[in-house]
Amino acid sequence: MKSKYFRIATWSVAMAISFAAFSLQSHAQAWPNHPLRLIVPFEQGGTYDLTARLLSLHLVPVLGQPVLVENRAGAGGNIATEYVAKQPPDGYTILIAGSVHVINASFYDKLPYDPIKDFDAVSLLTTSSLLLTANASSRATNMKELVALAQSQPKGLSYGSAGVGTPLHFAAEMVRSATHANFVHIPYKGSGGIAPALLAGHIDFAVTGTNSVLPGIRSGRLRALATMSTSRSSTLPDIPTIAEALSIPGLALETWIGALVPAGTPKVIITRLHTEMSRIVRNPQIVKEKFAPIDMEGVGSTPEQYMDILKSDLQKFSKLAKEANIRPNQ
């Protein structure tokens, strides 16, 4: 027979859980009643920051509260991600996450957070095209020639990325894995040095955001060989997808930006955030004026769809990291 102390303890725990649930629900009904924060894991400028500031601007009128953007850069996005994971699940702290959210988990042995369990998905906000580009003087005029050239040279072909474990690094390694080409990785400190290195002939090719190499392509000094997306770029519609260029169905890697909140955030708050954020990123004027010129696409998925993408991408990147032996500070 259980003691009265056990029964009292059990009753106390049950009451505490019920009170916590009631308090959380009451809080959700009053939300928002003070400023929200959008946490960006990188410095000002770039697509993460652009997305956060667009959201901030357009959320204020509908939520009736200030929406502040905080840039917490460092450790490839891990500093900001850990910070948000440890915040109260009250809807006031939102992570503007990107592909690095699951990429980091795929090759770091240990992280101070779980990319799936410690977060609730709000929405996949945008996707972006990546472009595989070579110098215009390269003997490779298409992807099959690039692969053949890499396979024929003992030292292979060099490619630049924004650093070990970045989406640009993974995209090039995905092509290498699919074609068994001999590629040599040259990591740079950020994406700013890649286009100049391509133009100067210091590297043979690179996978970059379209916007960073577009001036060189339009001037004829750089040659776009393929987009890494599942569909052709609206900015460069004549450039084939990587699947088309190599005749490998399903080969693709798109980068994305989404919104996450700490796990346990009330469903009613997540639903409201999803509704308003989706409306913003799908706004035709924003799409035309802000996203299209840099090859971004507004998505606004459901929370469930975004969580499925997180889980699927984590498996995909983990497999690729293992095959390519991608390690931190490699």
Q: What is the pLDDT of residues 68-101, one digit of tens each?
A: 999 999 888 999 999 999 999 999 999 999 999 9
- How far apart CA 139 and CA 129 sit, in angstroms, is 25
Please answer whether residues 148 and 138 qualify as being in contact, where contact means their C-beta atoms are separated by less than 8 angstroms. no
Phi/psi at 228 (nearest 5 deg)? -85, 0
In this prediction, residue 9 carries a pLDDT of 45
Please answer whether residues 256 and 126 qualify as being in contact, where contact means their C-beta atoms are separated by less than 8 angstroms. yes
Where exactly are the structural domains of the chain? 35-128+254-324, 130-246
- How far apart CA 310 and CA 255 sit, in angstroms, is 12
Class of domain 130-246: alpha beta
In this prediction, residue 6 carries a pLDDT of 43
pLDDT less than 70: residues of the chain: 1-29, 329-330
Please answer whether residues 257 and 47 qualify as being in contact, where contact means their C-beta atoms are separated by less than 8 angstroms. yes
**All residues at 6 or more sequence positions from 319 whose CB lies less than 8 Å from its CB, including other chains:** none
Q: Which residues pair with 261 in a beta bridge?
A: 120
Q: Taking the complete model, does pTM exceed 0.75, yes or no?
A: yes
Please answer whether residues 174 and 320 qualify as being in contact, where contact means their C-beta atoms are separated by less than 8 angstroms. yes
| CATH number corresponding to 35-128+254-324 | 3.40.190.150
